[in-house]
């Protein structure tokens, strides 16, 4: 999520959103093209997305947002587990 009407560099705006995500207390991971969050419910995830939007809305006339949702009941800590699983297989040959 970022404003599209603030020029080529929007890191000052994205950093405010990331501060909000960090302060929410949910696990998150910043990557070059977005941010992954891990919540225990859909309501919590959507509340964080809405809160992030409310940070940008007063200062931007146009905001770009994308969201992908992978909902899995009864599973926590998957964000790190998924990465470790793929990394453990790099360079291995299946026999």
CATH no. for residue 58?
A: 3.30.70.930
> Is there a domain that residue 70 lies in?
yes
Please indicate, yes or no, whether the overall pTM of this predicted structure exceeds 0.85: no
Which candidate, 26, 73, 89, 79, places its Cα nearest to that of 52? Answer: 26
> Is there a domain that residue 35 lies in?
yes
> Is there a domain that residue 94 lies in?
no
Domain residues for the domain of 77 are 2-89
> Is there a domain that residue 51 lies in?
yes
The string of pLDDT tens digits covering residues 25-84 is 999 999 998 999 999 899 999 999 999 999 999 999 999 999 998 888 877 778 888 888
Count structural domains, the chain.
Answer: 1
> Is there a domain that residue 17 lies in?
yes
> Is there a domain that residue 60 lies in?
yes
**Is it the case that residue 95 has pLDDT exceeding 60?**
no
Beta strands 28-31 and 2-3, pairing class: unpaired
């Amino acid at each position: 999520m970022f404003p599209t009407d603030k020029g080529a560099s929007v890191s000052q705006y994205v950093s405010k959103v990331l501060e909000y995500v960090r302060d929410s207390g949910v696990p998150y991971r910043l990557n070059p093209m977005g941010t992954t969050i891990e919540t225990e419910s859909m309501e919590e995830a959507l509340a964080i997305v809405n809160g992030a939007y409310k940070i940008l809305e007063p200062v931007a006339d146009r905001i770009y947002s994308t969201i992908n949702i992978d909902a899995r009941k009864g599973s926590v800590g998957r964000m790190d587990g998924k990465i470790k699983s793929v990394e453990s297989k790099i360079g291995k040959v299946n026999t």
